Amino acid sequence: MIRKCKNLIIGAGISGLTFASESKDCLIVEKEAEVGGYCRTIRRGGFVWDYAGHFFHFKTEKYREKFIESVPADEFVDRVKKTYIYYGDRLIDYPFQTNIHELDKEEFIDCLYDLFNKEEKDVYDNFLDMLYGKFGRSITEKFLKPYNEKLYAVDLTKLDKDAMGRFFPYADIKAIIANMKEHKNSSYNNTFLYPKRGAELIIDILKRDVDPERVLLNTTVSGIDLEAHRAVLSNGDVVEYENLVNTAPFNKFLSLTTDGGYREFAEKLTYNKVLVFNLGFNKKSTYDTQHWLYFPDKSFNFYRVGFYDNILGGDRLSMYVEIGYPKGARVSAEDVGRQLELTLENLKRAGITDDSFELVDHMSILMDPAYVHIDTENDRTVREIMKELEGKGVFSVGRYGAWTYCSMEDCMIEAGELAAALESGK
């Protein structure tokens, strides 16, 4: 069967749905049995779990109106962020670099001394080089280096100095010293919103403006002829399109094209995988106010845990746990089982649970990819290829499609602007 459409969209996650909701003639191809991507929600046994921890800010008037003002006020909870670092056997306020005064005296002096004697540079070679240059040895080696190595599962010299963009909590000496006298939570996400029934609320709102007949579920793109503007689907159909909007991981998209050079470059792009455990217990933890915790200590298998019950006001411990893996790691069912056992042991070790806690329900999700690795050379090539593809009617958007580090609202803004531009013919 041959299908024709103006805009063929690969992926029905938050970027693909946003584009489709603002486009008149489109067809979405989605490999899963439902839309939503990583913004799907699981609700069972009284627990509300997302595929991964999602928190919303909606800084733009357009999307605040679309998602906040269009639903009853009680659909969301509004929270002032309470996040900490599990350091040693205590909690330190996040971010580490602006709360070094909470450390023991000797470690505090080390951090302060190295901060004043750091060797800044005009140009940094890589992410790790930037950390040492801006924060000094002690702050870097006590938290920034081990935590980000656990998160990205890669040698930090392989990442660009701006790999995290505006999301990295930079702080100069003046701000760090000022925070010792008066604690200020001034990060980009110091407050957040969370839907009471999970991130699926956002997907449900986006779906309202998308014709379900124009969404092909359980379907993938198996090949793309960029010159002919034709895509072959896994069900045997052929789609002839005017524009192709890709929201799938950029490396996977390139591997579908007829251009061998693109496929070869796709192998050079790296990323991490994240194994997510959603866990539900029989009672509340003594950690009853925190929203999420960071774990730089590599003897803990996870790098971050979050508490859904503290966000939603639940009476039983409900949490997510995140474990980083490198791109090439094979995560088998046996590995998942071992990591679950280790996670439960480490939750007790951190004092989050104890022997009286019963695991009532749980599930695991492997995010593949999770965080893309941005390095200077590859990123330059990615942008060059995207520019070439635009000349062939191909537009790659979203965190994975554009191979970048951005928020969910950033994805929606980018997809919405692209839809408007293509609709107007610009």
Give the CATH number of the domain where residue 109 resides: 1.10.3110
- Whether residue 258 sits in one domain with residue 400: yes
Q: Which of 335, 350, 367 is the last residue of a domain?
A: 367
Average pLDDT, stretch 66-87?
Answer: 90
Which amino acid appears at position 175 of this protein?
Answer: A
Give the torsion sign (CA, 195, 198, 199, 200): negative
What is the DSSP track for 346-394? HHHHTTS--TT--EEEEEEEEESS-SB---HHHHHHHHHHHHHHHTTTE
Average pLDDT, stretch 13-21?
Answer: 96
Q: Which of 319, 352, 367 is the last residue of a domain?
A: 367
Q: 306 in a domain, yes or no?
A: yes
Answer yes or no: are the C-beta atoms of 115 and 139 closer than 8 Å.
Answer: yes
| pLDDT per residue as tens digits for the range 286-333 | 999 999 999 999 999 999 999 999 999 999 999 999 999 999 999 999
Q: 189 in a domain, yes or no?
A: no
- Whether residue 290 sits in one domain with residue 253: no
- Which stretches of 206-317 are assigned E, i.e. beta strand? 215-216, 221-225, 230-233, 238-246, 272-281, 292-294, 304-307
| pLDDT above 60: residue 152 | yes
Q: State the helix-helix crossing angle for 14-21 and 200-207, rounded to 10 degrees.
A: 20
- Structure pTM? 0.94
Alpha-carbon distance of 202 to 58, in angstroms, equals 11
| pLDDT above 80: residue 53 | no
| pLDDT above 80: residue 232 | yes
Q: 186 in a domain, yes or no?
A: no
Nearest one of 231, 272, 274 to 394, comparing CA atoms: 231
**CATH number of the domain residue 260 falls in:** 3.50.50.60
Q: Which of 334, 351, 367 is the last residue of a domain?
A: 367
| pLDDT above 70: residue 366 | yes
Q: 346 in a domain, yes or no?
A: yes
Provide CB contacts within 8 A for 331, sequence distance 6+.
273, 275, 325, 366
Q: How is residue 243 written in tokens?
A: 């524009």
pLDDT band at 173 (very low <50, low <70, confident <90, very high): confident
Cα 121 to chain centroid distance, Å, stands at 30
- Whether residue 390 sits in one domain with residue 312: no
| pLDDT per residue as tens digits for the range 388-423 | 999 999 999 999 999 999 889 999 999 999 999 998
Q: 190 in a domain, yes or no?
A: no
- Whether residue 160 sits in one domain with residue 305: no
- Whether residue 227 sits in one domain with residue 295: no
**CATH number of the domain residue 319 falls in:** 3.90.660.20
Which amino acid appears at position 130 of this protein?
Answer: M
Q: How is residue 300 written in tokens?
A: 């803990």
What pLDDT score does 54 carry? Answer: 75
- Whether residue 283 sits in one domain with residue 259: no
Q: How is residue 349 written in tokens?
A: 């070790």
- Whether residue 334 sits in one domain with residue 403: no
The total of structural domains in the chain comes to 3
Answer yes or no: are the C-beta atoms of 401 and 14 closer than 8 Å.
Answer: no
Whole-number mean pLDDT of the chain? Answer: 93
Provide CB contacts within 8 A for 214, sequence distance 6+.
20, 26, 27, 28
Cα 345 to chain centroid distance, Å, stands at 26
- Whether residue 244 sits in one domain with residue 215: yes
Q: 98 in a domain, yes or no?
A: yes
- Whether residue 160 sits in one domain with residue 97: yes
Q: Which domain holds residue 92?
A: 83-181
Q: 187 in a domain, yes or no?
A: no
- Whether residue 171 sits in one domain with residue 135: yes
Average pLDDT, stretch 264-268?
Answer: 93
Q: What is the DSSP letter of 37?
A: G
Q: What is the DSSP letter of 168?
A: S
Query: Minimum mean pLDDT among 43-57, 292-306, 328-342, 352-366: which range?
Result: 43-57
- Whether residue 360 sits in one domain with residue 307: yes
CB atoms within 10 A of CB 181: 8
- Whether residue 295 sits in one domain with residue 416: no
What pLDDT score does 176 carry? Answer: 85
Average pLDDT, stretch 338-344?
Answer: 98
Alpha-carbon distance of 403 to 25, in angstroms, equals 26
Average pLDDT, stretch 89-94?
Answer: 94
Give bridge partners of residue 42 from the DSSP assignment.
49
Q: 385 in a domain, yes or no?
A: yes
What pLDDT score does 187 carry? Answer: 54
